[in-house]
A and B are shown apart, each in its own frame.
Chain A
Amino acid sequence: MPSRVVLKLYIAGQTPRAESAIFHLRRICETALPNQAEIIVVDVLERPDLAEAERILATPTLVREVPPPRRRVIGDLTDIHKVLTGLGLRP
């Protein structure tokens, strides 16, 4: 398990779906990555340039920035095991 993880969550607006994604990501970090995960939330409606640069197609999209290589998942973040597996963070 890496000592430092940076996760960037792309959402679109302050919708219930976006809030749900943030909530579940925080829960995952508190549960599986305590004191080692940094979360960055990007609203693609406010920062379309960042979404364009990252070529985000839809939201919520979660990108593992650190450690490399970059990995991304899209969709439902409620299942902690699927999210960690998708991001390659399962021990």
Chain B
Amino acid sequence: MDEQRRPGYTLSQPFSNRLKETRGLMASSLEHQPATDEQWRALVSRSAHGVLVVDSSTVVRFANAAAEQLLSVGANQLIGQEFGLPLVTDQRTEIDSYRPDKSLLTLEMRVADVTWEGGPALVVSLHDISGQVQAQAGARRSEQFARAILDSLSAAVAVVDADGQIRATNAAWTAAANRHRGNSLLALEVGQNYFAACRAAAGAEAATAGQALAGMQAVLHGRAPSYELEYTVPGTAPEVWFILRVTPLHDSPDHRLVIWQTDVSANKLAALAAQETRLETDRQTQRDQERSSLERLSTANPTPVTAQSFGLAPLRSELPAVFAEILQRYLVLFDQSLERRAFRVEPPISDEMRNLAQYLGQHRAVPRDVLELHLAALKTKTSAASPGRVQAYTEEGRILALELMGYLAAYYRQYVTTSSWPGPERRPPDASPATPERAA
């Protein structure tokens, strides 16, 4: 330790610096003129800092008025008292002085070696830092309060500076970041750069991150008061949705931004479910209308052309057994048709369809009979099916009915072109055919 030798005492450099801080004018005399005991006593006796000199037995040999006040001891009461060996780390420590009213003063204690009245001694400097400690405690409490508010928010919150550096996050952000490690807009922590992360986002997230970055820049530069973006996290099942909000942090000197992220997956999925319900209701209405139309067509009086050409009653009422048999075959085709749709396979249903149309033709079936057949099949298949399956039967059934109708038309066209008209008479399957190919 550097020491300045003075007549009467030796003052170590750090303590000299301390005195210079508190008594600048007097310090100049310490540096340039020899200081006597009297000068030194005069100097420290007026110091606002408490000053004690303790000898090698740790007994107080000198104390100024400030020390007496700080240690709540009467005038000249300290001299001769045992203080104890002052222990400090890095030249300072903090101790408590208790007062008669049980309040505490926090004192900063500094120690320096001196030679006092010809012997080794220690100069102990005491400085009341209670106000400073209370201010620090107040600041800590204020920070803890702000942190508690931040952590009590259910939204994930991060504060970023104008360069995009994340300065603070709350507990919800940390938890959400841990849950969604694949979300490059969320899986970030204090110290990382949010803007850089947005720029680095690739793949399915690149577009979203680009929009978020543009929004943040707009808020940062005052072009927008706030910014909001709803986005989905790619590759999540069930799908995860977030709303990202960006607002400026008011009164922040360096133009900070607050980024709020809220997991809205539950709301979003509920909205999607409601939308799906509405769509399903619409589809159901459409199906009901379609079925009503088919029923109207099938139950209407025979068209004059059909009636005149064939003079036939509906197949269903005239030959119920044949109708039931055809219906069973049609139902099988119905299922095969659905398989073709679901599994994208091509079961050989066309041949059976052609055979069925031929069978219908042999029984003088007319389009109304096909409609009735289709309607009966639709009712059978959709009575206890799920909405999705009902929709599939309805859509696939339309094609099936049209296909059957086409084959039936082709069957009749064959007789027209070959002039081999099958004739108008219809007989049950067990009756002997009136004309060739009329009965099964």
Contact A74 B94 (CB under 8 A): no
Contact B98 A44 (CB under 8 A): yes
A61 to B73 alpha-carbon distance, docked (Å):
17
Cβ of A41 within 8 Å of any chain B Cβ, yes or no, is no
A51 to B81 alpha-carbon distance, docked (Å):
13
Task: Write the nearest CB–CB distance from B221 to chain A, whole angstroms.
Answer: 45
Contact B88 A59 (CB under 8 A): no
Contact B96 A15 (CB under 8 A): yes
By secondary structure, the A interface counts as mixed
A78 to B89 alpha-carbon distance, docked (Å):
8
Given contacts A45-B102, A58-B107, contact A79 B87 (CB under 8 A): yes
Cβ of A5 within 8 Å of any chain B Cβ, yes or no, is no
Task: Write the nearest CB–CB distance from A83 to chain B, whole angstroms.
Answer: 7
Interface residues of B in 195-217 (CB under 8 A from A): none
Q: Which residues of A contact B71 (CB under 8 A)?
A: 57-58
A9 to B78 alpha-carbon distance, docked (Å):
21
Cβ of B104 within 8 Å of any chain A Cβ, yes or no, is yes
Cβ of A13 within 8 Å of any chain B Cβ, yes or no, is yes
Q: Which residues of A contact B86 (CB under 8 A)?
A: 73-75
Task: Write the nearest CB–CB distance from A47 to chain B, whole angstroms.
Answer: 11
A59 to B87 alpha-carbon distance, docked (Å):
12
Contact B88 A75 (CB under 8 A): yes
Cβ of A17 within 8 Å of any chain B Cβ, yes or no, is yes
Cβ of A77 within 8 Å of any chain B Cβ, yes or no, is yes
Interface residues of B in 63-86 (CB under 8 A from A): 71, 73, 78, 81-86
Among A55, A58, A59, A76, the most chain B Cβ lie within 10 Å of the Cβ of A58
A51 to B86 alpha-carbon distance, docked (Å):
18
Interface string of A47-91 (1 = CB under 8 A from B): 010010001011111110000000111111111001100100000
Closest to B73 in A: A57
Cβ of A37 within 8 Å of any chain B Cβ, yes or no, is no
Task: Write the nearest CB–CB distance from B61 to chain A, whole angstroms.
Answer: 14
Contact A17 B98 (CB under 8 A): no
A73 to B82 alpha-carbon distance, docked (Å):
10
Interface string of A3-19 (1 = CB under 8 A from B): 00000000011010110
Contact B97 A76 (CB under 8 A): no
Contact A75 B95 (CB under 8 A): yes
Q: Which residues of A contact B82 (CB under 8 A)?
A: 55, 72
Interface residues of B in 91-139 (CB under 8 A from A): 93-98, 102, 104, 107, 109
Task: Write the nearest CB–CB distance from B413 to chain A, whole angstroms.
Answer: 102
Return the contact of A79 from the options B58, B81, B89, B97 (Cβ within 8 A). Answer: B89
Contact A73 B96 (CB under 8 A): no
Among A18, A45, A59, A76, the most chain B Cβ lie within 10 Å of the Cβ of A76
Closest to B104 in A: A12
Contact B85 A59 (CB under 8 A): no
Contact B98 A74 (CB under 8 A): no
Q: Which residues of A contact B81 (CB under 8 A)?
A: 55, 57
Contact A74 B95 (CB under 8 A): yes
Given contacts A12-B104, A55-B82, contact A75 B96 (CB under 8 A): no
A15 to B137 alpha-carbon distance, docked (Å):
13
Contact A59 B83 (CB under 8 A): no
Contact A58 B97 (CB under 8 A): yes
Interface residues of B in 301-325 (CB under 8 A from A): none
Q: Which residues of B contact A48 (CB under 8 A)?
A: 98, 102
A71 to B97 alpha-carbon distance, docked (Å):
20
Q: Which residues of A contact B83 (CB under 8 A)?
A: 57, 74
A77 to B95 alpha-carbon distance, docked (Å):
11
Closest to B97 in A: A58
Given contacts A45-B102, A57-B81, A58-B71, contact A73 B94 (CB under 8 A): no
Interface residues of B in 19-58 (CB under 8 A from A): 58
Contact A77 B87 (CB under 8 A): yes
Q: Which residues of A contact B109 (CB under 8 A)?
A: 74-75
Q: Which residues of B contact A78 (CB under 8 A)?
A: 89
Interface contacts beyond A57-B73, A83-B87: sample of 5 additional A-B pairs, CB < 8 Å, sorted by A: A12-B96, A13-B104, A51-B98, A63-B84, A75-B93
A sample of 7 inter-chain contacts (CB < 8 A) reads A12-B104, A13-B96, A55-B82, A61-B84, A62-B84, A73-B86, A75-B87
Closest 5 CB pairs of A and B: A74-B84, A72-B84, A76-B93, A86-B85, A75-B87
